[in-house]
Amino acid sequence: MDLVRIIVAILLLPLGVFLQVGLGKHFWLNILLTLLGYIPGIVHAVWIIARK
């Protein structure tokens, strides 16, 4: 299941984080990072998914 979440995180960054943690601080941080740049959003999303 983590592999599917990582693929979703690469394609639709905030959705991958939402599936992992819900509407928490990490979700909103990921949206902010995605707006600042695609790569920081990917790194954050994969980190959130991989650490759990």
**Per-residue pLDDT tens listing for the chain (52 residues):** 778 888 888 888 888 889 889 999 999 999 999 999 889 999 999 999 888 7
Is the Cβ–Cβ distance between 9 and 45 less than 8 Å?
A: yes
Q: For residue 1, give both structure tokens.
A: 């299941």
Question: How many domains does the structure of the chain reveal?
Answer: 1
Q: For residue 8, give both structure tokens.
A: 């979703």
What pTM value is reported for the model?
A: 0.82
At 4 the pLDDT is: 85
Q: Which domain holds residue 25?
A: 2-51
Sign of CA dihedral 50, 52, 3, 36: negative
Q: For residue 37, give both structure tokens.
A: 């740049």
At 29 the pLDDT is: 94
At 31 the pLDDT is: 93
Is the Cβ–Cβ distance between 50 and 28 less than 8 Å?
A: no
